[in-house]
Structure 1
Amino acid sequence: MAEVTYYTEEGLAKLREELQYLKTEGRTKIANAIAEARDKGDLSENAEYDAAKEAQGLHEAKIAKLETVLSTARIIDESNLDTSKVLALSIVKIKNVKNGAVMTYQLVSETEADFKSGKISVKSPIAQGLLGLKVGDIATVSVPAGEMNLEILEISR
């Protein structure tokens, strides 16, 4: 059985849009590329045709994966979430105990993660170390550079 993943309404809408694009325009582009390559002659020696067919296979695999993700996706009702501890979709303000750097992250699903906009995956090492903790707790997180101690300053939605 596939793993249930939790999304914001915005994140789930983006996935649905991407799937719709892949099923319509994406498939049309692949079909056109295959037809164009087929028109160039002998298929047994046509590298362009082979590449187009391979691209089609990858495209269909991506569609299947998105359909699986969407079939197990659940929207989190943020109004019922406990803000006393860090959960998925929490916005957490943390401070690196060692250097005093303050950062704010929102814990989101893997597909919604975007570090530049402050959204990190709930499966990332930092998020895993923060989940379930409360304001004032210090999380020891293993990262590639070693261990970090992060103090939770604030939790919001």
Structure 2
Amino acid sequence: SENSEYNAAKEGLAFVEGRIQEIEEILKTAQVVENQNNNHQVEVGTSVLVEIDGKKELFQIVGDFEADPLNKKLSHTSPIGQALVGKKVGDWVEVEVPAGKIKYKIV
């Protein structure tokens, strides 16, 4: 019926307006951070090449709202992100995942 379409549109609008408010709050406290990574440590904004069981994978460490694990963009607060942040080339990290522990070497 026409009313159900109207109500669905109103619900959709309310959701979008709520999301706009959330994003505006995030933007109020957001800060631009210059990348001054002279010590070659993994940090937010860096790409990191790791080796897992002889296979190499390139991850990008990002903020929570940019995270997209399917496209290798890992949040710095994710288990893998937390393990990698602060480490350098040559370091090994071990990450606890549901299937067990995974060892990564930063290359």
Interval containing the TM-score (normalised by the shorter chain): 0.7 to 0.9
**Counterpart of 2:38 in structure 1: which amino acid?**
D
1:28 maps to which residue?
none
Return the index of the structure with the highest Cα Rg. 1
- Which residue number in structure 2 is paired with residue 143 of structure 1? 97
Q: CA RMSD in A?
A: 1.9
| Distance across 2 between alignment mates of 1:142 and 1:116 | 19
Tell me which amino acid in the other structure corresponds to 1:84.
H
Residue in structure 1 matching 2:61, options 83, 102, 107: 107
Q: Is 2:28 aligned against 1:74?
A: no
Q: How far 1:83 moved relative to its partner?
A: 3.6
Aligned residue pair count = 107
Which of 20, 23, 44 aligns to 1:88? It is 44
Of 17, 26, 31, 1:60 maps to 17
Q: Distance in 1 between matches of 2:14 and 2:104?
A: 44
The alpha carbon displacement at 1:117 in A equals 4.2
Q: Structure 2: which 5+ residue stretches go unaligned?
A: none
After superposition, give the CA deviation of every residue in 1:6-27 in whole Å (9 maximum; x if it has no partner): xxxxxxxxxxxxxxxxxxxxxx
Q: Percent identity?
A: 36
Structure 1 segments, 4+ long, off by >4 Å, are none
Normalised by the length of structure 1, the TM-score is: 0.61
Shift of 1:134: 1.7
| Structure 1, unpaired ranges of 5+ | 1-36, 41-45
Higher RCO (CA < 8 A, seq sep 6+): 1
Q: What TM-score do you get using the length of structure 2 for normalisation?
A: 0.85
